[in-house]
Amino acid sequence: MRLSAMADGSLVRYRLAVPRELLGHIIGKGGHIIHRTEVETGARLVVNKNEMGIQEQVVTMDGRLDVCINAACVLIHKIYEVRWPKAA
């Protein structure tokens, strides 16, 4: 994960590397999960274009620090639920 402040200091860009095999669980059918996460958290989420040979795909979150952290937590929790369903 990477965090960087924007020029005005009030917005951040947060990047989360997601294993490609789990990306569908983050996006959801027709983009419904990622869209719901945007609506619930207020962060702008973008799945970056896939680069050949890379095992992860980057999801970029833009917004205030608190909303980006909240969105990242939602996505990480979703990954956790899929990877380790009995623990979640």
**CA 1 → CA 21, 29, 50, distances in Å?**
18, 25, 17
Q: What is the pTM of this model?
A: 0.80
Which residues of the chain carry a pLDDT beneath 70?
A: 1-9, 52, 87-88
- Provide Rg for the chain, Cα atoms: 13
Indicate whether 88 belongs to any domain.
Answer: no
Indicate whether 37 belongs to any domain.
Answer: yes
Q: Which helix (H) or strand (E) holds 68?
A: helix 65-83
Indicate whether 6 belongs to any domain.
Answer: yes
Give the count of domains, the chain.
Answer: 1
pLDDT of residue 32: 94
pLDDT of residue 1: 45
pLDDT of residue 54: 79
Cα–Cα nearest to 45, from 17, 73, 24, 15: 15
Output the domain CATH number for residue 7.
Answer: 3.30.1370.10
47-63 residue pLDDT tens: 988 776 778 899 999 99
User: Which residue range(s) make up the domain with 17?
Assistant: 2-83
